[in-house]
Amino acid sequence: MSTLTPPAGRTGCAPAAKTPANSSLASNRTDTVSVAPARRREDGAAGALPVLGHPTGRSSRFIGRNGAQILLQMLLEHGVTDAFGYPGGAILPTFDQLYEKQLNFILVRHEQGAGHMADGYARATGKPGIVIVTSGPGATNTVTALATAYMDSIPIIVFSGQVRTYAIGNDAFQEADVTGITRPVTKRNYLVKNLKDLPRIINEAFVIATTGRPGPVLVDLPVDVTTAKMEDPVDDTPNLPGYRIYKGGHSRMVKAAADLINASERPVLYVGGGAILSGAWQEVRALAEKGNIPTTTTLLGLGTFDENSPLSLHMLGMHGSAYANYAVQDSDCLIAVGARFDDRVTGNLKLFAPKAKVVHLDIDPSSISKSVKVDVPVVGDAKLCLRDMLLHIESRPRQAWLERIRQWKARFPFTWKDDSPLPKPQAIIEAINRITGGRAVFTTGVGQHQMWAAQFIRWNRPRSMITSGGLGTMGYGLPAAIGAQVGRPGELVIDIDGDGSCLMTVMELATMHQYQLPVKVAVLNNRFQGMVRQWQKLFYGGRFSHTEMVNPDFAALAESFGVRGLRCENKADVPRVVEEMVKHPGPCLVDFICETDENVYPMVASGKALDDMVMGVVGETPPNSGRDMGTLA
Amino acid sequence: MRHVITALVMNEPGVLAHVAGMFSARGFNIDSLVVGRTDDPNFSRMTIVVIADDRTLDQVRKQLGKIVTVVRVRDYKESPFVARDLMLVKLSAPPKVRSEVIELAGLFRGRVVDVGQNTIMVELSGEEDKLDAFVELVRPYGIRELARTGVIAMARGAEAVRSAGSEDQRPAAGASPLARREPLARRQPSQAELEATPPG
Ligand SMILES: Cc1cc2nc3c(=O)[nH]c(=O)nc-3n(C[C@H](O)[C@H](O)[C@H](O)COP(=O)(O)OP(=O)(O)OC[C@H]3O[C@@H](n4cnc5c(N)ncnc54)[C@H](O)[C@@H]3O)c2cc1C
Ligand SMILES: Cc1ncc(C[n+]2csc(CCOP(=O)(O)OP(=O)(O)O)c2C)c(N)n1
Ligand SMILES: [Mg+2]
């Protein structure tokens, strides 16, 4: 048990943590992790814990190495190829180890950016994103990124420097209680007080970040721990007696769920980010197609289901499609897969899906019946549960239901009106969608542009929509795009950003330039915090209190960073400029000047039922309401 | 309803902060929280009294279970259990009433643990109600100081939350309020059980 493949440089290490964390968990039980690694080897199950690509146990392999060397060695053992961060005094021993470039290290311009890059990297690849920063301000700068990753269940691991163990608690220079500050926004965090604990803690960090419901982990590393030399053999086996990884669902529940689905006439499949984390898109498709079940996704689930399919209802929720929201409200069986009934999705909880029995597949028991009462809970990994469930699903035509949905879709498509001199933001996104065929990795900021991206790009691949859903972090898009590009170097990565959002992390253009990462940034520049403006217009009598912004010349700004900068202000130029942006071989930012006075529709105002939408231009022609349509079928 | 929950947690720094932080972040209402050692030095045991309806209790249990350093969680909604609270109370007891107070303490099976010139300290343990009743009885004498640990609890019968014997509990956060409280939610025991179990 104690031997281990020595670190073999980048290429040799690459395969270990390739697969999305949960995709190959194989058996119908839960595991407590302290025993799992040993069992994995013997029973030959296809990698029960793929996160630990090597055996663990008592080992002498760290003897004579200092903490920083051990950290690097173990990162390589875990298959880490890339990391993001920023140096400083308390993390210098670790940075010294990065000098040899065994890792592709990306120096950022702000630690928040490092966190979002790691997050974008994780969402784009399924591998955990790694961050290395210094103590005090370096660590506190990652808090927003940790909270963002925590809300959306994204595996990132932050290694932060800390002052010497004996100085902790003395208000030492650049000391902050980082484990205290980050506890509510991490799945687990550690302050490593003894070098002998470091190998075990690093293994635990990887297990916790990437298994079950994934999430961020922070490891605080006092500088005397990273400089101390290991003298004795240590056991690096994770010790997690309280940590359970749910795998396949309870067979009785799986069967009960299938029975409910088979008996339903108007089922709707409601798929969330958990389906991506689980790698369950094939199973989702199989379920939809076998049962003829219309399928809607959350913002974070976009891409799990091909939106070109006639069964697709596109996104649901506050700014989701009218037809998805009508379908959910009319459904007699709502099947939630890796989705958590967020308030942006349900609208008024009391009026949500009133006719539906609810099936909920989720790996986190605390997601179940948290806000919506569930009739059949299935706790487990979405892919494994769906696989089992599919065996019991009967194929059903459900013609009447599909016909009603077809009519809703025909009558209430996402739409917008070309009625302003400046291009509408939607026009730009449509052009991007047309020119790329939706075949790019997209990231977004937060605001109207984010919603329009969700609505007007036809999502057809998992891991192609990278956006901050739960926390709604402005400034996420640009660094997340950099992270995605690092993780998927050959691919087209486009950040669809807002002028407000973009400026929050714009300094990362320098990172893009330094590493010549060919990210494209499309700034939908409405010179406003458009989303807030929309609320002020609709609910605050048009008093635009502090939402108008005097912006820099974004193209010139980009050029000053060494990034190609373009500007587009005419409708007629939009397709050509999008084309130019996409074709540009290096990093490129386009300032798309667009109409300010435009709202996102449909919209479910707060407190309203999901089908009680402000429709705006949606469904304007023909002018009937959805309710009339509903009784047609 | 007031519910009793037991959590076995890893014995390491930050766990109490994590649990307490989770309760406040999610707006759960703690009535008392006690942490103490167990027979196994690796684990501590928390007994938490929460005020919650059934839905909230379910979330409290699940959210506790989600904390990586929490090893096991159990509530006592469905099973008979023993719950105990420990109190130290210092009373004004000048020599002329001293024997009265000692007698009262004796009636409650309390112990006099300290006697000063004008004060007396009584140690009393038992169900919360019993302690409450004692407090009301001695209030007229003048309560100088009062400390209670909050409830610890354990299921009756063989079933155990991993390690059984917990001696030497140390009070931690959250002294319980002195105001009258509703009784702890309990399953109603059957007649047979009532006959079989010795009085608490
Ligand atoms: C301005 C703005 C507007 C928004 N409007 C909308 C909107 O109109 N519509 C909308 O949908 N969202 C909207 N959102 C996003 C919204 O806030 C939530 O982030 C989103 O709805 C949550 O998506 P989800 O339910 O897929 O949950 P996630 O946060 O992705 O949760 C994933 C769930 O899957 C579970 N899970 C994880 N791994 C697995 C696994 N292996 N197997 C099974 N289950 C697993 C988790 O336990 C969790 O319950 C908006 C956000 C912003 C910022
Ligand atoms: C860090 C942060 N601060 C504030 C908000 C609140 N907020 C949500 S959307 C929005 C406006 C976004 O403006 P912009 O990026 O220009 O996008 P637009 O809506 O104009 O497309 C604001 C201020 C937020 N989500 N995140
Ligand atoms: Mg804007």
Question: Which residues line ion ligand 3, judged by CB < 5 Å?
Answer: A 498-500, 526, 530
pLDDT exceeds cutoff 80 at A633: no
Could you tell me the fold of the domain covering B82-148?
A: Alpha-Beta Plaits (3.30.70)
Contact assessment for residue A609 and residue A329, using Cβ atoms and an 8 Å cutoff: yes
Cα B43 to Cα A206: distance, rounded to the nearest angstrom: 23
The two three-digit tokens of residue A33, written as one number = 């992790």
pLDDT, mean of residues A269-288: 98
Strand order, beta sheet including A312-315: A312-315, A295-297, A267-271, A333-337, A357-362, A376-379
Q: Are B25 and A370 a contacting pair at CB < 8 A?
A: no
Query: How far apart, in whole angstroms, are the C-alpha atoms of residue A351 and residue A618?
Result: 23
A176-188 pLDDT, tens digit each: 999 999 999 999 9
Backbone angles phi, psi at A272, to 5 degrees: -120, -170
Of A180, A240, A364, the CB nearest to B66: A364
Spatial contact of B2 and B30, defined as CB atoms under 8 Å apart: no
CB A497 within 8 A of CB A444: yes
Same-fold call for B2-78 versus B82-148: yes
Nearest CA to ligand 2 atom 20: A530
Distances (CA, A) of B152 to A127, A504, A537: 43, 50, 55
User: Which strands make up the sheet holding A104-107, listed edge to edge?
Assistant: A104-107, A82-85, A129-133, A156-162, A217-222, A188-191
pLDDT over 50 at A357, yes or no: yes
The two tokens of residue A59 are 């080992």
Residues touching ligand 2 (Cβ under 6 Å) are: A 445-449, 472-474, 498-501, 524, 526, 528-532
Position B189 scores a pLDDT of 65
Q: What is the Cα–Cα distance from B81 to A139, expressed in whole angstroms? A: 45
Query: How far from the centroid of its chain's Cα atoms is residue A364's Cα?
Result: 17
Ligand 1 pocket test, candidate residues A344, A363, A529, A600, most atoms within 8 A of CB: A344
Structure token digits, residue B92 = 């004004």
Encoded tokens for A604 = 């479910």
Distance separating alpha carbons of residues B149 and B32, to the nearest angstrom: 8
| Residue of A327, A358, A403, A157 whose CA lies nearest to A257 | A358
Residues paired with residue B69 on neighbouring β-strands, in sequence order: none
Structure tokens at A302: 């976009």
Q: Half-sphere exposure of A577 toward its Cβ, with a 13 Å CA cutoff?
A: 25
Q: In the beta sheet, which residues pair with residue B46?
A: B7, B35
pLDDT the model gives residue B166: 34
What the block records as the tokens of A130 is 């790694």
Q: What is the pLDDT of residues A219-249, one digit of tens each?
A: 999 999 999 999 999 999 999 998 989 999 9
Closest CB to B59: pick one of A189, A242, A366. Answer: A366
Question: Is B77 in CB contact (< 8 Å) with chain A?
Answer: no
CA B15, CA A180: separation in Å to the nearest integer? 11
Residue B171, pLDDT score = 35
Count of C-beta atoms within a 10 Å radius of residue A434: 14
Supply the DSSP string of A565-594, one letter for each residue. EEEE--GGGHHHHHHHHHH-SS-EEEEEE-
Does A31 score more than 70 pLDDT? no
The mean pLDDT value for A81-87 works out to 98
- Residue A618 structure tokens: 């949606």
What separation in Å is there between the alpha carbon of A169 and the centre of ligand 3? 43
pLDDT for the residue A21? 37
Residue A581, CB-side half-sphere exposure with 13 Å CA sphere: 31
**Host H or E run for residue A337:** strand A333-337
Are B105 and B119 within 8 A, CB to CB?
Answer: no
Model pLDDT, residue A214:
98
Any bridge partners for residue A297, and if so which?
A271, A315
A243 interfaces chain B, CB cutoff of 8 Å: yes
* Per-residue tokens: B126: 């038992």
Taking only the tens place, the pLDDT of each residue in B107-138 is 999 999 999 999 999 999 999 999 999 999 99
Q: What is the CATH number of domain B2-78?
A: 3.30.70.260
- Give chain A's mean pLDDT: 91
> Could you say which ligand is closest to the alpha carbon of residue A602?
1
Contact between A84 and A29 (Cβ < 8 Å): no
Beta carbons of B59 and A208 less than 8 Å apart? no
Residues 6+ away with beta carbon under 8 Å from A165: A193, A222, A224, A225
Residue A539 exposed, middle or buried by CB count within 10 Å (0-12, 13-18, 19+): exposed
> What are the residue ranges spanned by the domains of chain B?
2-78, 82-148
How confident is the model at residue B180, as a pLDDT? Answer: 60
**pTM of the predicted protein model:** 0.90
pLDDT above 90 as % of chain A? 88
pLDDT of residue B188: 72
Buried b / exposed e over A29-42, threshold 16 CB at 10 Å, is eebebeebbeebee
Q: Name the minimum distance, in Å, from the CA of B67 to any CA of chain A.
A: 8
SS (H, E, C) A358-398: EEEEECCHHHCCCCCCCCEEEECCHHHHHHHHHCCCCCCCC
Q: Give the CA angle between residues A172, A175, A181 to the nearest 5°.
A: 145
Is the pLDDT score of B175 beyond 50? no
Closest CA to A333 of A248, A232, A257: A257
Domains of chain A, with CATH numbers? 14-245 (3.40.50.970), 251-411 (3.40.50.1220), 425-614 (3.40.50.970)
Test site for ligand 2: of A151, A499, A501, most ligand atoms within 8 A of the Cβ:
A501
A187 touches chain B (CB under 8 A): yes
| CB-side neighbour CA atoms (13 Å) of A599 | 20
pLDDT, position B195: 65
Residue A19 has pLDDT above 60, yes or no: no
Tell me what the pLDDT averaged over chain B comes to.
86
Q: Does B181 touch chain A (CB under 8 A)?
A: no
Residue-level pLDDT at B187: 73
Q: Is the predicted pLDDT of residue A290 greater than 70, yes or no?
A: yes
Mean pLDDT of A489-507: 98
- If you average pLDDT over residues A318-334, what whole number do you get? 98
Q: Identify the DSSP state of A414.
A: -
Q: Is the CB of A444 under 6 A from ligand 1?
A: no
- Per-residue pLDDT tens over the stretch A42-78: 222 223 344 566 788 899 999 999 999 999 999 999 9
Q: What is the DSSP letter of A424?
A: P
Could you read off the pLDDT of B58-85 as tens digits, one per residue? 999 999 999 999 999 999 988 899 999 9
Interface pTM, i.e. ipTM: 0.83
Confidence of residue A620 (pLDDT cuts 50, 70, 90): confident
Q: Is B13 on the interface with A (CB under 8 A)?
A: yes
> Residue B49 above 90 pLDDT?
yes
Rounded Cα distance between A459 and A455, Å, is 9
* pLDDT score, position B34: 95
Q: Which of A134, A131, A64 is nearest to A92 (CA)?
A: A134
Which of A208, A194, A218 has its CA nearest to residue A138? A218
* A174 within 8 A of A137, measured Cβ to Cβ: yes
pLDDT at position A199, please? Answer: 97
Task: Chain A: give the shortest CA distance to residue B7, in Å.
Answer: 11
Give backbone dihedrals phi and psi of A592, rounded to 5 degrees, phi first. Answer: -90, 105
Q: Residue A32: which H helix or E strand, with range?
A: strand A31-32
| Cα torsion through A177, A132, A509, A502, rounded to 10 | -40
Q: Is some CB atom of chain A closer than 8 A to the CB atom of B26?
A: no
A106 to A86, A97, A305, A510: CA distances (angstroms): 9, 14, 33, 11
Lowest mean pLDDT among A48-57, A202-211, A550-559: A48-57
What pLDDT was estimated at residue B79?
87
Q: Which amino acid is at B114?
A: D
Determine the average pLDDT of the residues in A78-97: 97
Q: How far apart are CA A156 and CA A113, in angstroms?
A: 13
Q: Which residues pair with B37 in a beta bridge?
A: B44
pLDDT score for B197: 56
Testing the interface with A: which of B66, B72, B161, B163 to mutate, by most A Cβ within 10 A?
Answer: B66
| Atom of ligand 2 lying closest to residue A445 CA | 15
